[in-house]
Amino acid sequence: MNVGFISTRLAGNDGVSLETAKWANVLKRMGHNVFYCAGELDKDSPPGALIPEMHFDYPENTWIRARSYGTTTPHPDLYARIDALKNAIKPPLEVFINEYGIDLIIPQNIFAVPLQLSLGLALTDIIKATNIPTISHEHDYYWERAAYESNCVGDMLDMAFPPDLPSIRHAVISSVAQRSLKQRRGIDATVVPNVFDFETPAPVLDDYNADFREAIGVGEDDFLILEPVRIIRRKGIELAIEAIRRLDDPRCKFILTHGDDLEQDYLAELQAQASAAQVDMRLVADRIGSSRKTVGGQKVYRLWDAYLHADFVMYPSLYEGFGNALLETVYFKRPMLVNHYIVYTADIGPLGFDFIELNGVVTNDAVAQLRDWLDHPQAWQAAVEKNYQLALAHFSYSVLERLLAELIAS
């Protein structure tokens, strides 16, 4: 079949884009053709259509979003402008579907988080009119986020986020989301967890990435403690700083990797906390990209290159839809500290993974184990091997292929 992925953005290192790429790889492995349609695409994306009006930061959508949430009183022009943008998006979307002979569409989080109301409404109209087979991949829902609690677009949210139509199958990334959707909307969904290509061995150090530590000013005898996440409050980065403070070891270098969607006030708070705690924290987003390249005479590395040099990975998130960085850490066989966020507690932890665990606070026991694992790498070798085998069984491409085959057959 010709499968069309549709989203606001399919580019960069955000969780939706990364997971879409995995689905695309597996569908191609199954013999299907893959096409992309979004408001932002990478240069090396599959063929498809770039429709700027679909982006969540398209100026008209930014105006709409600012007036849809945080108030129950609509601006006089709000509904007309939502409709006008919807009508601007529909024709190029229909052209994409027809031009590439799309047999199955896979909206990526469009129907879950209403960052782009007009896009969700436009695509709902198209599906309703054509009955085109659809697998809606829903990563997290608007009712799970405080920012959307107060709004003046409730009827639109009820209709299209997500829509309940005969030709749509809903795929959610956790049992928590599955229960939430059923309770809130009466809609059944299939749990399709985030996955990684655990059947393929991880890359290794090579001539390009061998100097990553040197490039970011971390010595060979230092401990490179990695937090490979965006700098937003729900990532709980303050817990990592507190754990490193309590280690009281100048060899610890705390490396933050992501500069996209950065919350500046939160970063300022973290920098103040790290300074007061005498924690050497560094943001190296300018040295990490989606591909290896040279910019301004400086080498840019992939995130994977950073994992290969990490002595330890911090993942103290307060909330995650699933947890891509967790799977990446397991893939690269690195030890990790993880906080008990809801999906971890429900779907991941019970499988028996061996991480240092927090329950919202940094404990003396967690710090003691962290110190032991940093000083004695042999102490965590059995843990990372066990974690890899568990992930191979539960979160591999083979698991995704089986679930996608079942969804397509339905």
Q: Is the confidence at residue 283, as pLDDT, over 90? A: yes
Q: Are both 81 and 161 inside the same structural domain?
A: yes
- Under 8 Å CB-to-CB from 390, ≥6 apart: which residues? 330, 351, 352, 353
pLDDT digits 0-9 by tens, 310-328: 999 999 999 998 988 999 9
Expressed as residue numbers, the domain containing 74 is 2-195+397-409
pLDDT digits 0-9 by tens, 33-55: 999 999 999 988 999 999 999 99
Q: Are both 389 and 404 inside the same structural domain?
A: no
- Under 8 Å CB-to-CB from 200, ≥6 apart: which residues? none
Q: Are both 81 and 173 inside the same structural domain?
A: yes
Q: What is the pLDDT of residue 14?
A: 78
Q: Is the confidence at residue 18, as pLDDT, over 90? A: no
- CATH (domain of 94): 3.40.50.2000
Q: Is the confidence at residue 103, as pLDDT, over 80? A: yes
Say what percent of the chain tops pLDDT 70: 100
Q: Are both 236 and 163 inside the same structural domain?
A: no
pLDDT digits 0-9 by tens, 75-86: 999 999 999 999
* 204 part of a folded domain: no
What are the Cα distances from residue 201, in Å, to 241, 302, 383? 32, 17, 18
Q: What is the pLDDT of residue 75?
A: 97
Q: Are both 61 and 128 inside the same structural domain?
A: yes
Q: What is the pLDDT of residue 144?
A: 86
The 8 Å CB, 24+ separation contacts for 365-372 are 366/243, 366/337, 367/243, 367/246, 367/247, 370/243, 370/247, 370/312, 370/337, 371/247, 371/249
The reported pTM is 0.89
Give the position of tokens 């499988």: 351
* 75 part of a folded domain: yes
Total count of domains within the chain: 2
* 304 part of a folded domain: yes
* 200 part of a folded domain: no
Q: What is the pLDDT of residue 174?
A: 95
Mean pLDDT calculated for residue range 381-404 = 97
Mean pLDDT calculated for residue range 162-183 = 97
Q: Are both 27 and 105 inside the same structural domain?
A: yes
Q: What is the pLDDT of residue 327?
A: 96
Q: Which residues pair with 95 in a beta bridge?
A: none
Q: What is the pLDDT of residue 145?
A: 85
Residues 282-315: b if buried by 16+ CB within 10 A, e if exposed: ebbeebbbbeeeeeeeeebbbbbbbbbbbbbbbb
Mean pLDDT calculated for residue range 256-280 = 95
> What pLDDT band is residue 261 in, cutting at 50, 70 and 90?
confident
* 318 part of a folded domain: yes
Mean pLDDT calculated for residue range 165-174 = 97
Q: Measured between alpha carbons, how far is 184 from 181 in angstroms, rounded to an integer?
A: 5
* 54 part of a folded domain: yes
Q: Are both 157 and 223 inside the same structural domain?
A: no
239 and 316 in contact (C-beta within 8 Å)? yes
E strands of 257-402, at which residues? 280-283, 288-289, 293-295, 298-302, 312-315, 336-339, 356-358
Mean pLDDT calculated for residue range 334-354 = 97
Q: Are both 132 and 222 inside the same structural domain?
A: no
* 203 part of a folded domain: no
**Per-chain mean pLDDT for the chain:** 96
Q: Are both 132 and 270 inside the same structural domain?
A: no
Query: Smallest Cα–Cα separation from 196: which of 16, 342, 23?
Result: 23
Q: Which residues pair with 252 in a beta bridge?
A: 223
Mean pLDDT calculated for residue range 290-299 = 91
Number of CB atoms found within 10 A of residue 156's CB:
20
Q: Are both 302 and 225 inside the same structural domain?
A: yes
> What pLDDT band is residue 15 in, cutting at 50, 70 and 90?
confident
Lateral strand order in the sheet of 288-289:
288-289, 298-302, 293-295
Q: Is the confidence at residue 146, as pLDDT, over 90? A: no
pLDDT digits 0-9 by tens, 120-144: 999 999 999 999 999 999 988 999 8
pLDDT digits 0-9 by tens, 57-75: 999 999 999 999 999 999 9
> What pLDDT band is residue 291 in, cutting at 50, 70 and 90?
confident
Q: Are both 241 and 295 inside the same structural domain?
A: yes
Q: Are both 8 and 86 inside the same structural domain?
A: yes
Q: Is the confidence at residue 151, as pLDDT, over 80? A: yes
* 352 part of a folded domain: yes
Number of CB atoms found within 10 A of residue 113's CB:
22
